[in-house]
Structure 1
């Protein structure tokens, strides 16, 4: 998911530390998470998927805008001093939850120093623990991943860590799934050690690129479950082809156009997978053939749209910075066929970065073979499980997370599903029972 990485690299400024960051329990029993948004903002999130950007006003009062839009949603948030940890959110009072927190340093693949954190709900009870496996982002999961607080606020422990080459962890950033899976195996061992007797069910949750890494890690460790959010059961090269096709279909083009556009995607894939040594002649020929076609401007894909405007020399030069040992032809199905750990795959049917249709089809074949896989397809949701509206220029602007997405994640970690989850279509592994093993 190269495009996700490039966006993260452009927006990876560290936020100004804010003592208001945390999870809060309101007097009506609900929870709200307050997270960093950018160097001068905050973002609130509710378990039902509602979210907004907070902008500082007078005193310690903040005003909210809907989702990622600039449109006011008329919610006001007021914080008391940091020591007392009080909040008034949309007219309801609350207090910051005092979690049990363990910061740690542990050894990943090859002894690489990784920095992590275990956050457990208050109390002494045994709880499920979810190890959060990073996507392709280059930023610190310990700073930006709000699930590290959202899960404990609802009774599920979370272990978050900076993947190698990000945040405070050592090592070189990589997209080598095998290395990252070994790091995740080390992370689950560290989580179990720190949680001690409080650890109940323990499993992985991988988002985006983490959907390749988490199942692989599960084949190398004993875990109770794997949750994949908007991940894929196809290779990175197939991802771009599927994304090219899906984007063109949304624009109204037929398969004859998609076949032509795939010539561009395949040439770009060859360039990247050959470490910038092959495919340039094929790309130049395809561009010369199609650049005046009306559909050419609408070719997107996961990474094709980034490469198409570049000359061959620019690709050779700029591409060097993005050679991260990505296994471009990674065989997801070979891993999934031998994985008998219960899995939940949460997908969006409008994901233009990692289209879900082929992944859902392939997972269906594994379900038919009796593997313990549950799938949930959320209508109108894109990458990140967000819903969106279209701006006047046709670009998507996210408004919220899909209703039911977080609740389903929590319930699967706890071991029992309680349908329905928003408007999602759920397929269980064995005709029938809404119970997570």
Structure 2
């Protein structure tokens, strides 16, 4: 990878691992990406979904563990000449792929200074460009989003930027979808400017919370496609209700118990959506009614589990740190109903954070109206479209990304699909609009 990218990584992440980060072409023609992970570790990824965490051993040798588990997977990495991009992975030698990298700053809504990066595949021809709209995380996307390199590995450019209030970008962190959508509009303009004559199809890929932001941005600027990863067509408050219901169902509870659990979720939602001014009486009443029920301990949701253990005083005090202008009642459907841009929605069948059931039903209703929406449901996958296993404590541990997940996004950006994609169940747009 070019020195411009290396310089950026050196400026924004742990110095122990900077020169290792990049995409590599191995001697058998396959590709490997090495990216940042937890402190003092790296993560390797392949387009087929396989992945592992790398821990440093002697010299510049690293050993891998399977997925996100602690089990050795028998693979190792040796950076034979890190500065020159030389690597050996699982016995195969490789070299860093020489992407074209451009660093930039641009103005988001209100003139806020945002920091971004365009990475293009080698060559001079036109390529699709994906603008990466990240989710609710506060980490630097420029440091941690591996898709900025995974797309270029397969001939698709990627523009990544630190969301306002994160990484090297200015401004305050926010979950205001409208503000973030305007920032994404500015990002598309900057990506097109930097790519110049090489820009072919240009579109968004939004993950998680970015699944609300990217379609909204697409109604405010011209793009050729929108890719949503494990996003939702329901509101943030409905997300918590759906998560409560899905998780309780997995634990064997029936609808009568879910209805009671929803009283707790609704009270928590009222507290948060009112800016910590309302809903406390409702929460007190629901806790008094159900606090000793055997199922009470299993109420989780997307955010309810964080609030339920707190006293009202703790909620009022600690809740101040989470007032990020989240549009709790945001209705995605009016946006999606008028969006004529082709969309791909990649969803996890077992996603307990953003359950896909109601979102799939709503997207199906839009498909029936002739809107250009493609859905792909990956079975037995978690938020992030990762497959998982259950630990002894019953908690999920991810093992890999689903086969076909990344390739589907790449092909959609290129405008040509070649199903099947792993075990995903795909539904395509109707050929003609429904009358």
Q: TM-score, normalised by structure 2?
A: 0.95
Q: What does the per-residue CA deviation read over 1:42-64, in whole Å, with 9 as the maximum and x for residues that have no partner? A: 10000010000001111221100
Aligned residue for 2:367, secondary structure, equals helix
Partner residue of 1:426? 426
Aligned residue for 1:19, secondary structure, equals helix
The alpha-carbon deviation at position 66 of structure 1 amounts to 0.3
The alpha-carbon deviation at position 38 of structure 1 amounts to 1.6
Aligned residue for 1:197, secondary structure, equals helix
Q: Is the 8 A contact 2:14 2:40 kept in 1?
A: no
1:276-355 superposed matches below 5 A: 276-355=276-355
Partner residue of 1:182? 182
Greater shift in the superposed pair: 218-227 or 289-298: 289-298
Partner residue of 2:139? 139
- Please provide the CA RMSD for this pair: 1.2
The alpha-carbon deviation at position 80 of structure 1 amounts to 1.5
Distance 2:277 2:373 in 1: 39
Aligned residue for 1:80, secondary structure, equals strand
Q: Is the 8 A contact 2:65 2:72 kept in 1?
A: yes
The alpha-carbon deviation at position 91 of structure 1 amounts to 1.3
Distance 1:16 1:298 in 2: 41
Unaligned runs of 5+ in 1: 1-11, 433-437
The alpha-carbon deviation at position 82 of structure 1 amounts to 2.2
1:73 counterpart = 2:73: yes
Aligned residue for 2:205, secondary structure, equals strand
Distance 1:106 1:144 in 2: 20
Distance 1:19 1:13 in 2: 11
1:27 counterpart = 2:27: yes
Aligned residue for 2:264, secondary structure, equals helix
Q: What does the per-residue CA deviation read over 1:263-312, in whole Å, with 9 as the maximum and x for residues that have no partner? A: 00000000000000000010011011101111111111000001000000
Q: What does the per-residue CA deviation read over 1:391-418, in whole Å, with 9 as the maximum and x for residues that have no partner? A: 1111111110011000000000011010
The alpha-carbon deviation at position 83 of structure 1 amounts to 2.9
Partner residue of 2:377? 377
Partner residue of 2:207? 207
Partner residue of 1:393? 393
Q: What does the per-residue CA deviation read over 1:78-99, in whole Å, with 9 as the maximum and x for residues that have no partner? A: 1122232111111111100111
Going from structure 1 to structure 2, the CA distance change for 1:214 and 1:325 (only over 3 Å counts) comes to same
Partner residue of 2:219? 219
Q: Is the 8 A contact 1:374 1:428 kept in 2?
A: yes
Aligned residue for 2:173, secondary structure, equals coil
Unaligned runs of 5+ in 2: 1-11
Q: What does the per-residue CA deviation read over 1:18-68, in whole Å, with 9 as the maximum and x for residues that have no partner? A: 201000011211111000112201100000100000011112211000011
Q: What does the per-residue CA deviation read over 1:373-431, in whole Å, with 9 as the maximum and x for residues that have no partner? A: 00000000110111111111111111100110000000000110100000000000026
Q: Is the 8 A contact 1:15 1:40 kept in 2?
A: no
Partner residue of 1:435? none
Q: What does the per-residue CA deviation read over 1:132-160, in whole Å, with 9 as the maximum and x for residues that have no partner? A: 00100011000000000111011100000
Aligned residue for 2:180, secondary structure, equals helix
Partner residue of 1:18? 18
Going from structure 1 to structure 2, the CA distance change for 1:15 and 1:267 (only over 3 Å counts) comes to farther
Partner residue of 1:83? 83
Distance 1:16 1:357 in 2: 43
Partner residue of 2:42? 42
Aligned residue for 2:313, secondary structure, equals helix
Distance 1:259 1:121 in 2: 52
Going from structure 1 to structure 2, the CA distance change for 1:186 and 1:242 (only over 3 Å counts) comes to same
Q: TM-score, normalised by structure 1?
A: 0.95
1:43-122 superposed matches below 5 A: 43-122=43-122
Distance 2:78 2:16 in 1: 19
Distance 2:84 2:248 in 1: 53
Aligned residue pair count: 421
Q: Is the 8 A contact 2:13 2:143 kept in 1?
A: no
Distance 1:13 1:393 in 2: 33
Aligned residue for 1:412, secondary structure, equals helix
Partner residue of 2:167? 167
Q: Is the 8 A contact 2:81 2:87 kept in 1?
A: no
Partner residue of 1:252? 252
Partner residue of 2:234? 234
Aligned residue for 1:38, secondary structure, equals coil
Going from structure 1 to structure 2, the CA distance change for 1:274 and 1:66 (only over 3 Å counts) comes to same
